[in-house]
Structure 1
Amino acid sequence: MRFRSWFAAAALLLSSFAAHAAEPIKIGMLFPQSGGAGDDGQRVTKAVQVMAELINAQGGVLGRPIQVLIRDDESTPAVGVAKANELIGEGVSLVIEGYNSPVTLAIQPVLARAGIMDITVLSKADGILANNNNPLAVRMNSSNAMDAAAIADWLMHSKAHRIAFATQNDAYGNGAQAGVEAELKKAGWPYEIVSQQSFPFTATDFRVAVTAIKDAKPDAVSVTNSSGGSGMPAFLQQYAQQRGGAPVVAAVGTISPTVLAIAGAAAEGVASADIYFADVEPFKSYKANQDFVAALRTNHLLADKFTALGGGALQVWAIAANQVKSLDKEKVANAIRGKTLPGTIFGDATFAPNGQMQAHFFTTTVKDGQIVVQQ
């Protein structure tokens, strides 16, 4: 028994050495590393690097180590396109991207024409997987259409008929609001938009918008702002300062520990929903999640939805590549799209035929500075 245990340990060690000695597989990481989304982008990037270390320690992919090449898209479509072309020139096998929907929508055709597999981490616009022009595309995060039902349910449960919308004016924000309205109409819920406020992703001054919302006396405020490092906390702070009064529901996934740390007491009572929590069942019982959370902690990183989706993107690709024993992009993509992959951070991860990972939504409320999950 001791000999077999020693032999197994030695085999794993030799496998790890072999992976590190082989030519690395280049993976592109195209995410904001600067600007308002820079802090979030850097966290997701570090999470992908942590996952790469875990995979490499287990022998890599097809016996080869993963090398992550990082590029800053600056949350700007034109910059994203330029950086995507850089990664294509580097000969990457995969591009992990997607903090901002406009950037994702701009770079996906570039990657598709180059035949590069593309996994979107966070971007939610429904147009990202809306057609069959890119059979190599996969998305980890839920889409606007998937999110809409969770937010609409909250509004109806809260008896909100007079609704104020504060919406990021881009493909993501406008799509999120349109989805919520479509769900309310589908349910036959009578509602009136008493205030419509739109703003760019870079906005941090919401005083005029908050005043208009307060004066409209809504039953609830639906806010969509994907800038966790500046825009969302600024909106909540300014809304609290003016004593807006009506309860706030934030778009799915936009209330993060980063938002709470910056917004402070202004975030108290804000409702939302999300698809992953490291310490909530079923996730806390998944071995892959436990290992990932422990590795993040060692690297002084917080386990949240952003880091899980980033790390999960690389993990899913690695599992699929090892399953088909090939780096052929079509074979790997086909092993993910329309399939279920076991042993991921998300347990058995199921993907629709168009590459969209399926998800369960958990309603949340901020209480005493913490995100409380309603199961």
Structure 2
Amino acid sequence: MSTTHHPRARALRGLLALCAALPLLAAAQPATSVKLGVIGPFTGASSDFGTPLLQGIKLAVDEINAVGGYLGRPLELVIRDDQGTPDVGLKGAQDLVAQGVLGTIGFCNTGVAEKSLAVFQNAKVPLIIPCATGTPLTAKYPPAESYIFRNSARDAIQAPFVVNDLVKRGWTKVAIFADTTGYGEAGLKDVEAALAAHQLRPVNITRFPLGVTDLKDELKTARDAGANVVFSYTVGPENAAIANGRRDIGWKVPQVGAWPLSFPFFIDGAKEAAEGALMAQTFIAEPSNERRAAFLSAYTHKWGKKLVVPMAAAQGYDAVYLFTYALLGIRDGKLSGPTIKTALENIPRVYYGVVATYEHPFSNKDKDALTANMLVMGKVQAGAVTFAYPEDARRNLIVQRKK
């Protein structure tokens, strides 16, 4: 493979251009590392998407350090495992700040993130959320003051995207199954709001705690209410419990939802009962264009394994590059939380990422990098996630920009 077409060369082209503009500063800087915090569920029930998140982050850091990091200073990851538990996450967040990280990438669980946001906000340490999608996370603080950024698709755009698809298909009698975590609570509100925009109300709402394994009685109630589709909002094995319950009671209606329906807990846990499930996606692991093929090739080369939960890995990878592009906009080399916040709000160069083409992804008025036009509908088929519509596969040839 030629240097021009090597996956790493493609991924680093823009970064190299920025680095080339700062040679004198680079020579003047000490070789001390830039500490970047990482926090997520790397063990426990949510590790099926926490692990690929970390792998995507590490892949990007290796690439960036290979070309000099920030002005000759390598990125150094300081990693904390939140185990998908709010109290553990809070302790980890406090420890990252105490360790002197200049920014942090992290959180996969909305409820875990919610408990820790104030730690980063009060310490003026920018947090980029590459995984958790609960709408309230980037709405807690006024945008101009907020140190909380995100490059995952918030549920306020995922829920309407899926609901619009349901209406188009004629599935308008919706039963919502949402867990009682912060993620389920926020997602339920977003689905209800999306339905209301079409003058619709759910025909049934079921709430359940994490860990539930049998929802057959609740599914029978939804069936008796006349539902013709189940919209599930949970992140773990409970999605599979819903699918398996539908199978067990012989209720052949579709299951739809946000991105957790692409997780192994669902696909492997429900097997044939998962077939045909539909979900919002920002990235599907198919080499639909050059940069996505490059990322998939680099991931396989580094980790030597199949990529599970591709969205988590790709968004983690992109988050590191967004952080680095922001750093390279700080031309005097003086790094602090406030200067990095301002730099993230004013990233000087387009980053041609895996999930999106990031042109001004953040501002002092908007801390969410992804918009609805970047979503596609995924479908479980033969135990994997692919495009639900041929037109989405064609549209995916062009990486979308923020609208």
Q: Same fold (TM over 0.5)?
A: yes
User: What corresponds to 1:6 in structure 2?
Assistant: none
Q: For 1:172-211, list aligned pairs within 5 A.
A: 172-188=183-199, 190-191=200-201, 193-211=202-220
Pairing 1:300–2:312 present: no
Give the TM-score normalised by the residue count of structure 2.
0.80
User: What corresponds to 2:73 in structure 1?
Assistant: 64
Deviation, 1:225, is: 1.3
Deviation, 1:342, is: 2.1
Change in Cα spacing, 1:168 to 1:329, as seen in structure 2 (3 Å) is same
Deviates more, 1:334-343 or 1:109-118: 334-343
Deviates more, 1:322-331 or 1:159-168: 322-331
Pairing 1:363–2:377 present: yes
Change in Cα spacing, 1:308 to 1:59, as seen in structure 2 (3 Å) is same
Residue identity in the other structure for 2:338:
E
Where structure 2 has 5 or more consecutive residues not aligned to the other structure, the ranges are 1-18, 393-403
SS in 2 for 1:324: coil
Pick the aligned partner of 1:140 from 151, 165, 177. 151
Change in Cα spacing, 1:212 to 1:35, as seen in structure 2 (3 Å) is farther
Q: For 1:36-55, list aligned pairs within 5 A.
A: 36-55=45-64
SS in 2 for 1:323: coil
User: What corresponds to 2:95 in structure 1?
Assistant: 86
CA–CA distance in structure 2, aligned partners of residues 135 and 63 of structure 1: 29
User: What corresponds to 2:328 in structure 1?
Assistant: 322
Residue identity in the other structure for 1:90:
Q
Higher-strand-fraction structure: 1
CA–CA distance in structure 2, aligned partners of residues 347 and 365 of structure 1: 20
SS in 1 for 2:320: helix
User: What corresponds to 1:285 in structure 2?
Assistant: 290
Change in Cα spacing, 1:198 to 1:36, as seen in structure 2 (3 Å) is same
Residue identity in the other structure for 2:383:
G
Pairing 1:354–2:366 present: yes
Deviates more, 1:347-356 or 1:268-277: 347-356
Deviation, 1:290, is: 4.0
Residue identity in the other structure for 2:329:
Q
Deviation, 1:204, is: 3.5
SS in 2 for 1:35: coil
CA–CA distance in structure 2, aligned partners of residues 78 and 65 of structure 1: 31
Residue identity in the other structure for 1:150:
F
SS in 1 for 2:380: strand
Q: Deviations over 1:268-327 (max 9, x none)?
A: 11111211124264xx233xx444322210212417111011111111101111132343
Residue identity in the other structure for 1:365:
K
Pick the aligned partner of 1:372 from 381, 386, 393. 386
Residue identity in the other structure for 1:370:
A
Residue identity in the other structure for 2:186:
G
Count of residue pairs brought into register by the alignment = 354
Deviation, 1:53, is: 0.8
User: What corresponds to 1:264 in structure 2?
Assistant: 271
User: What corresponds to 1:109 in structure 2?
Assistant: 118
CA–CA distance in structure 1, aligned partners of residues 212 and 37 of structure 2: 29
Deviates more, 1:65-74 or 1:178-187: 178-187
- Identical pairs, percent: 23
Change in Cα spacing, 1:280 to 1:214, as seen in structure 2 (3 Å) is farther
Pick the aligned partner of 1:331 from 331, 335, 339. 339
CA–CA distance in structure 1, aligned partners of residues 346 and 329 of structure 2: 15
Deviation, 1:120, is: 0.8
User: What corresponds to 1:157 in structure 2?
Assistant: 168
Contact 1:338 1:354 in 2 (8 A): no
CA–CA distance in structure 2, aligned partners of residues 252 and 42 of structure 1: 16
Change in Cα spacing, 1:262 to 1:81, as seen in structure 2 (3 Å) is same
Contact 1:168 1:200 in 2 (8 A): yes
CA–CA distance in structure 2, aligned partners of residues 362 and 213 of structure 1: 28
Give the TM-score normalised by the residue count of structure 1.
0.85
Deviates more, 1:107-116 or 1:233-242: 233-242
Q: Deviations over 1:224-270 (max 9, x none)?
A: 1112xx23233322322322222111224532356323322111111
Change in Cα spacing, 1:285 to 1:347, as seen in structure 2 (3 Å) is farther
CA–CA distance in structure 2, aligned partners of residues 202 and 314 of structure 1: 33
RMSD: 2.8
CA–CA distance in structure 2, aligned partners of residues 146 and 83 of structure 1: 29
CA–CA distance in structure 2, aligned partners of residues 150 and 347 of structure 1: 17
CA–CA distance in structure 1, aligned partners of residues 274 and 172 of structure 2: 23
